């Protein structure tokens, strides 16, 4: 029997209309670096998004399914593109402005973007790429920044350049939004590509709508129109973890840092605008902590912070506890929209009892089914001990990549199981009450004498040492054991390395056979374009003899 319920599509258009009317007075504040930030109500954002859709269709000829890319910071104009482009039936493609030029060129060509909306301050990055982007016909420039870098390409006539404000000015405040299939593509992101070429994930209207509802549930981020969220995680990184759509849906005020992502302006933003929530990767919170330790600022408005993208060192969580800021660990990936787990402890526990739950990656919501695949392909029990590769499925999880993966010999079966689950490449354990603890990326795990050593456990233990600012541990070849850990550490100002002491410190919490013999001090841990430890680079530095390694 079929149900008797209405079959109304779940679309971004619905989020746009609802947010701009019911929550019309909620605000988007964009930091300008000057004395006054720029403030726009949801009603204004919605009206401007409507005009943008009209301009893209009528002036630029953007049709259904065509890709409109953005090369932008987190700001109100970018939010307008987030709402307008999917709602008009086109595909929003957010470009990662930290990628090397060759990868950006590869991605734009693979997606066949027709339009790029770019912030003025990013034109020096975009202009030299344009001759290599044959599908791009229009560049729309928004916000401050010198337009001169585009002069050379406009002279050639292939690419037309528009000013965002001029394009939307005077346009009708209405648009005949199409009736969309909820399964149609709405937005796309490419994975950050630490191995091989990036792979494109195309989110549907339905997946964005359902993911937004999940993000707004108490077990995930649980924000309401009484909150203001500081969205530091870039809008080009998994749609800023889905926050712009989720918050527009329920009227959460947004504080957008634009290009002011350094610790000092962030600290100032938090003290003056008093957000109640924020979201960013651990590296960023490390930087902010160093800043406020040196120049104290009041961060206490920001009672809750969602932290993820890489493992959050427990020491960082403890340091923020002291500042009255609770970091809440979450796990996800580009392929999962990204909300997977969130580490809210069960109810009724004391602070001490909560701690072991808080440092896990967290619990899965109903929309994300999980299983652990063992090395032999068997599925492992949730006993908190059996480590396997995490596989997930659900309505906001990718089931394929966009248009194959180009030049790279990519085998879909490596990423998707025959019964349609996503193989995450993350290795971990799940406790009997459903809490996930990741011990490694499958490719980063250290296989020593047939046993696994968790690089993440070693890093977390090292980063709890008062002299250590950052630590990354990688597997290096070893004649006797196959692989052994190499510990690279960044020491706090002026400290001289005492490896024996560090090793002894580790022995307090790590089994003796897992302790690294190889040590090196580095000035900084190499990071990927989205701020994760780039272990590929460390392994290469080691292989090429660039690190000064001490045996202890």
Catalogue the active-site residues.
191, 335, 447, 452
What is the nearest approach in angstroms of ligand AMP to the Cβ of residue 429?
13
What is the nearest approach in angstroms of ligand AMP to the Cβ of residue 308?
4
Nearest of 99, 73, 531 to residue 308 by alpha carbon: 531
Closer residue to ligand AMP, CB minimum distance, 164 or 364: 364
Closer residue to ligand AMP, CB minimum distance, 49 or 188: 188
Q: Is the distance from CB of 54 to CB of 90 less than 8 angstroms?
A: no
Closer residue to ligand AMP, CB minimum distance, 458 or 547: 458
* Angstrom distance (rounded) from CA 320 to CA 159: 48
SS3 assignment, position 290: helix
465 contact partners, CB below 8 Å, separation of at least 6: 502, 505
Residues found near ligand AMP in the complex (CB under 6 A)? 191-192, 238, 308-311, 329-334, 338, 361, 424-426, 438, 441, 530
Residue 379: half-sphere exposure toward Cβ, Cα within 13 Å: 10
What is the nearest approach in angstroms of ligand AMP to the Cβ of residue 541?
21
What is the nearest approach in angstroms of ligand AMP to the Cβ of residue 447?
18
* Angstrom distance (rounded) from CA 333 to CA 395: 14
Please confirm whether the linkage preceding 104 is cis (ω < 30° from 0).
Answer: no
Largest interatomic CA distance in the chain: 73
* Angstrom distance (rounded) from CA 475 to CA 429: 20
- Give φ, ψ of 456 to 5 degrees: -65, -40
DSSP state of 381: P
What is the nearest approach in angstroms of ligand AMP to the Cβ of residue 341?
8
Closer residue to ligand AMP, CB minimum distance, 95 or 130: 95
What is the nearest approach in angstroms of ligand AMP to the Cβ of residue 493?
28
Q: Within 10 A of 375 (CB to CB), how many other CB atoms are there?
A: 10
Closer residue to ligand AMP, CB minimum distance, 103 or 361: 361
What is the nearest approach in angstroms of ligand AMP to the Cβ of residue 361?
5
What is the nearest approach in angstroms of ligand AMP to the Cβ of residue 531?
10
Q: Within 10 A of 441 (CB to CB), how many other CB atoms are there?
A: 20
Closer residue to ligand AMP, CB minimum distance, 250 or 307: 307
Closer residue to ligand AMP, CB minimum distance, 19 or 332: 332
SS3 assignment, position 458: helix
DSSP state of 141: E
Task: Using CB atoms within 10 Å of the CB of residue 176, give its burial: 0 to 12 exposed, 13 to 18 middle, 19+ buried.
Answer: exposed
Tokens 């919170």 belong to: 285
* Angstrom distance (rounded) from CA 285 to CA 340: 21
Closer residue to ligand AMP, CB minimum distance, 80 or 335: 335
Q: Is the distance from CB of 438 to CB of 389 less than 8 angstroms?
A: no
Question: How open is the CA angle 394-397-400, to the nearest 5 degrees?
Answer: 120
* Angstrom distance (rounded) from CA 355 to CA 202: 37
Question: How open is the CA angle 108-310-451, to the nearest 5 degrees?
Answer: 115
């Amino acid at each position: 029997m079929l149900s008797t319920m209405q079959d109304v599509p779940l679309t971004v258009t619905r989020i746009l209309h609802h947010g701009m009317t019911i929550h019309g007075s909620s605000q988007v504040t964009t930091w300008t670096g000057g004395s006054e930030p720029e403030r726009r109500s949801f009603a204004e954002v919605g009206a401007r998004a409507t005009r943008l859709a009209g301009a893209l269709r009528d002036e630029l000829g953007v049709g259904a399914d065509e890709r409109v890319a953005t090369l932008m910071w987190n700001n109100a104009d970018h939010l307008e593109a987030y709402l307008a482009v999917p709602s008009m039936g086109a595909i929003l493609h957010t470009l990662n402005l930290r990628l090397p030029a060759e990868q950006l060129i590869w991605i734009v060509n693979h997606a066949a973007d027709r339009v790029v909306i770019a912030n003025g301050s990013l034109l020096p990055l975009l202009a030299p790429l344009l001759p290599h982007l044959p599908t791009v016909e229009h560049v729309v420039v928004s916000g401050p920044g010198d337009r001169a870098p585009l002069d050379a390409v406009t002279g050639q006539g292939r690419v037309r350049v528009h000013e965002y404000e001029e394009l939307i000015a005077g346009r009708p405040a209405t648009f005949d939004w199409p009736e969309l299939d909820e399964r149609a593509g709405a937005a796309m992101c490419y994975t950050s590509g630490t191995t091989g070429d990036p792979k494109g994930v195309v989110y549907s209207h339905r997946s964005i709508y359902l993911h937004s509802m999940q993000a707004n549930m108490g077990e995930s981020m649980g924000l309401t129109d009484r909150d203001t969220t500081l969205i530091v995680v870039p809008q080009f990184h998994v749609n800023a973890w889905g926050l712009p759509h989720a918050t527009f849906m329920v009227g959460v005020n947004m504080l957008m840092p634009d290009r002011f992502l350094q610790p000092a302006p962030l600290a100032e933003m938090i003290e003056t605008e008093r957000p109640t929530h924020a979201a960013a990767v651990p590296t960023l919170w490390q930087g902010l902590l160093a800043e406020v330790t040196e120049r104290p600022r009041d961060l206490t408005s920001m009672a809750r912070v969602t932290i993820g993208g890489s493992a959050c060192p427990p020491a960082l969580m403890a340091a923020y506890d002291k500042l009255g800021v609770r970091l809440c660990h979450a796990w996800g990936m580009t392929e999962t929209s990204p909300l997977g787990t969130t580490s809210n402890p069960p109810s009724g526990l004391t602070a001490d009892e909560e701690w072991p739950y808080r440092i896990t990656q967290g619990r899965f919501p109903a929309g994300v089914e999980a299983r652990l695949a063992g090395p032999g392909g068997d599925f492992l029990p949730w006993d908190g001990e059996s480590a396997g590769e995490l596989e997930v499925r659900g309505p906001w999880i990718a089931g394929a990549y966009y248009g194959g993966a180009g030049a790279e010999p990519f085998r879909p079966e490596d990423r998707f199981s025959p019964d349609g689950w996503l193989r995450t490449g993350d290795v971990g354990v799940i406790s009997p009450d459903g809490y996930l603890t990741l011990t490694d990326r499958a490719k980063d795990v250290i296989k020593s004498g047939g046993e696994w050593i968790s690089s993440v456990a070693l890093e977390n233990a090292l980063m709890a040492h008062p002299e250590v600012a950052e630590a990354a541990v990688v597997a290096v070849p070893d004649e006797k054991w196959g692989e052994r850990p190499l510990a690279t550490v960044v020491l706090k100002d002026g400290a001289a390395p005492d490896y024996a002491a560090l090793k002894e410190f580790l022995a307090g919490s790590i089994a003796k056979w897992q302790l690294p013999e190889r040590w090196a001090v580095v000035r900084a841990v190499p990071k990927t374009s989205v701020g994760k430890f780039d272990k590929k680079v460390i392994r290469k530095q080691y292989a090429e003899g660039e690190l000064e390694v001490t045996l202890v």
